[in-house]
Chain A
Amino acid sequence: MTNDEPGPMENLLGGLDQQLDALSSDELKIELQGRGIDIDAFLEQIDAIIAAHDKHERLAWMRVADGKKESLIVAETPGTRWSERKPEHILMAFARFLKAGGPERALAFKNKGTLSVQDMAAILEADERLQERNQRKST
């Protein structure tokens, strides 16, 4: 027998564990009690863990909606320079900017390589200045 092989007492304990299928719920509860384990209290604890996770999952859509709402508010708030906003807002706004420009704009920026957040902020500010100028011309 090598050092890793289980000894006879280990085998005996493992064998009793493998035969748990034969026990009724009450018998299992009694055996657990014999080992100091209060299974009813423990099951309540596990129920609570699962219920908390289920609730977290159920409310996930609300967190997504809140995030989108916040990004829209930021995008629509005038007066703040893009370079002064949070990086995640710049990233979201830049993604919208690319989408709005269609495949040509997306390809143009793809060919440009990786842009930093500061680059994106500068592009967004330039785009806003251009749009404001166009609006003034048309009015």
Chain B
Amino acid sequence: MNPVLKAALAEPGYRNTIARAAFHADTTIRRYIWRGYRPRYSALGEVMVGDKTAKDFVSEAVLRLINGRRAFDPSRALLDNLNSITDSLISAEKKRSDRSGVVDYVEEADEEGNPSDPISTAVAVALTPDERLRGDELREDQRRCIEALVASFDGNDEMQRYIEALSVGFKRAEISELMAISGSQVDELRRKLTKYAPKFFGVTNFEELQRRLQEGD
């Protein structure tokens, strides 16, 4: 085992790192939902890609690092190493689960042993009209969801600005600067927003979100 990896796994904070890696893997799967992916859920309610949960992807990432199938990059933190591997595992598993049944081409594996097919990895010159329409619909769905979320915090200007800043991809430090508030105030906004989370985590489209907001779920 790489000595830096060994040291990282021996640190007392490693369990927190694993928990955060599980959170990241779960978020990665949930982000695919907003790309039109329709996931399954485990008996415990964990979101899945194929038959794997976020925990399965993190376990696999840990195994690959310790048995050397994936090289540990000592210049990056353990969490970054794990997140990079789970991102690639989830992407590969999603592609596999997108292909339902019949495969009319030779299956290949990339250098890490993940299945790679010539169709999904081909560089497209342009989107087909169907793909463009579907992509536009999904983005419109996302935009309407953000609008609904912002509207649901009517009267809370700070939270509304926070959601808008997150939705355009600003990071914590940038939000702090943009809103002229401290980092800890940004963290507090995050806490308040995630308490509201069941309303939008796991919903698969705008109509579902709207229904949950109306039901006060």
Using a CB–CB distance below 8 Å, which chain A residues touch chain B? 1, 3, 6-20, 22-23, 25, 27-29, 31-32, 34-39, 42-43, 45-46, 49-50, 53, 57
Q: A11-B169, A29-B19, A53-B1 are in contact. List 14 more A-B contacts (CB 8 A).
A: A11-B168, A14-B27, A14-B31, A17-B27, A28-B20, A28-B23, A31-B23, A31-B197, A34-B197, A38-B44, A39-B22, A42-B22, A45-B59, A50-B66
Known: A18-B171, A22-B190. A34 touches B198 (CB 8 A): yes
Using a CB–CB distance below 8 Å, which chain B residues touch chain A? 1, 9, 15-16, 18-20, 22-24, 26-27, 30-31, 34-35, 41-42, 44-47, 53-55, 58-59, 62-63, 66-67, 127, 131-132, 135, 138-139, 142-143, 145-146, 149, 163, 165-172, 183-184, 186-187, 190-191, 193-194, 197-198, 200-201
> Would you call A57 and B1 a contact (CB within 8 A)?
yes
> Would you call B22 and A36 a contact (CB within 8 A)?
no
* Residue in contact with B15 in the complex, picked from A10, A15, A22, A43, CB distance below 8 Å: A43
> Would you call A36 and B42 a contact (CB within 8 A)?
yes
> Would you call B19 and A32 a contact (CB within 8 A)?
yes
The complex places the Cα of A9 from the Cα of B198 at a distance, in Å, of 14
**What total of A-B pairs shows CB separation below 8 Å?**
146
28 CB-based A-B contacts, threshold 8 Å = A6-B169, A7-B35, A7-B142, A8-B167, A9-B142, A9-B145, A11-B168, A14-B169, A15-B167, A15-B169, A15-B170, A16-B194, A22-B172, A22-B190, A28-B23, A32-B22, A32-B26, A34-B201, A35-B46, A36-B45, A36-B46, A37-B44, A42-B58, A43-B15, A45-B55, A46-B15, A49-B66, A57-B1
> Would you call A19 and B172 a contact (CB within 8 A)?
yes
Known: A11-B168, A35-B26. A3 touches B201 (CB 8 A): no
Residues from chain B with Cβ under 8 Å of A46 in the complex: 15, 18, 58-59, 62
Residues from chain A with Cβ under 8 Å of B18 in the complex: 42-43, 46
Majority secondary structure of chain B interface residues (helix, strand, loop or mixed): helix
Residues from chain A with Cβ under 8 Å of B27 in the complex: 13-14, 16-17
Known: A8-B167, A8-B168, A17-B24. A1 touches B54 (CB 8 A): no
* Residue in contact with A10 in the complex, picked from B31, B46, B62, B183, CB distance below 8 Å: B31
A29 (CB) vs chain B CBs: closest residue? B19
> Would you call A19 and B186 a contact (CB within 8 A)?
yes
Known: A1-B139, A3-B127, A8-B167. A18 touches B172 (CB 8 A): yes
The complex places the Cα of A43 from the Cα of B14 at a distance, in Å, of 10
